[in-house]
Amino acid sequence: MNDLSNYRKSYEKSELLETNVPEDPINLFNKWFHEIEDFGGTEEVNAMTVSTIGIDGFPKARVVLLKKFTEEGFIFYTNYNSEKGKAIAENAHICLSFFWHSMERQVIIKGIAQKVSEHVSDNYFQSRPDGSKLGAIVSNQSEVVPSRAYLEENLLQLEKDYDSIVIPRPKHWGGYLVVPVEVEFWQGRPNRLHDRIRYTSGEDYTWKIERLSP
């Protein structure tokens, strides 16, 4: 048995107070995101956990890369026919979460996922390296395959098929915009009295700001 009860750390790097947060959570997210970039210690600042409710009724979480965030919300790309894509088609309520251990911070975002326009997906797809484009085409994401060799052989064939020509975006691959309805910022503090500030979207497009008990 592995007893992890003695794995303890005192969080002392920063604080989060109601008096120093903006009215809009996207502004605070932007501030934190770039502070993590500047501080270092996190290889992929844009790595986030995407949690969905599967069509089998079970929640499932996986790490995906955030590709853009704006005042509207948060954008990531995937195969629409994947397990997560099918889950979103059935239930668009999803959760995004970031854990930035270097600054002892978490952000948890509840939101509604919606497909971005085909134009936006096309533009992002064409910005990717050719290898990534072909990988998106060759992979029937989440489907059972006979072997690694099967995938590699299909990729080699695609490389020949698309040699010296533009690689089109497959229609089953594209972006999701997650429009936030609730955003929680978590800052580690000593003695487990962590700071938790929650933004909740109101009907008048304003945000209610509340402190949560740790």
Tell me the CATH number at 126.
2.30.110.10
User: What is the average pLDDT across 21-40?
Assistant: 94
Q: Quick check: is 190 in a domain?
A: yes
Q: Quick check: is 89 in a domain?
A: yes
Average pLDDT, the chain: 93
User: What is the average pLDDT across 64-75?
Assistant: 97
Residue with more model confidence, 3 or 110: 110
Residue with more model confidence, 202 or 93: 93
Q: Position of tokens 């009724």?
A: 57
Q: Quick check: is 84 in a domain?
A: yes
pLDDT-based confidence at residue 7 (cuts at 50, 70, 90): low
Residue 45 token pair: 């600042």
Is residue 10 pLDDT above 90, yes or no?
A: no
User: What is the average pLDDT across 179-194?
Assistant: 95
Report the SS3 class of residue 92.
coil
169 within 8 A of 126, measured Cβ to Cβ: yes
92 within 8 A of 53, measured Cβ to Cβ: no
Q: Quick check: is 111 in a domain?
A: yes
**pLDDT at residue 145 in the model:** 86
**pLDDT at residue 30 in the model:** 97
**pLDDT at residue 29 in the model:** 98
Residue 129 token pair: 């390296």
Q: Quick check: is 192 in a domain?
A: yes
Percent of the chain with pLDDT strictly greater than 90? 81
Is residue 165 pLDDT above 80, yes or no?
A: yes
pTM, to two decimals: 0.91
Task: Report the distance separating Cα 132 and Cα 98, nearest Å.
Answer: 24
Q: Position of tokens 């594209």?
A: 174
Residue 124 token pair: 């992002």
Catalytic residue among 105, 192, 196, 211: 192
Torsion of CA 7, 8, 14, 16, to 10 degrees: 100
Task: Report the distance separating Cα 94 and Cα 157, nearest Å.
Answer: 36
**pLDDT at residue 26 in the model:** 98
Residue with more model confidence, 139 or 178: 178
Q: Quick check: is 160 in a domain?
A: yes
**pLDDT at residue 5 in the model:** 64
Element (H, E) at 151: helix 148-161
Q: Which domain holds residue 130?
A: 18-211
Residues ≥6 apart with Cβ < 8 Å to 107: 29, 32, 96, 97, 98, 183, 184, 185, 186
User: What is the average pLDDT across 95-113?
Assistant: 97
pLDDT digits (tens, 9 = 90+) for 32-69: 999 999 987 778 999 999 999 999 999 999 999 999 99
**pLDDT at residue 50 in the model:** 98
Q: Quick check: is 11 in a domain?
A: no
For the chain, what is the domain count?
A: 1
Is residue 8 pLDDT above 70, yes or no?
A: no
* Residue 24 Cα distances to 33, 103, 110, 164, angstroms: 15, 21, 15, 46
Report the SS3 class of residue 120.
helix
Task: Report the distance separating Cα 54 and Cα 78, nearest Å.
Answer: 16
Active site residue 192: yes
Q: Quick check: is 1 in a domain?
A: no
Is residue 139 pLDDT above 90, yes or no?
A: no
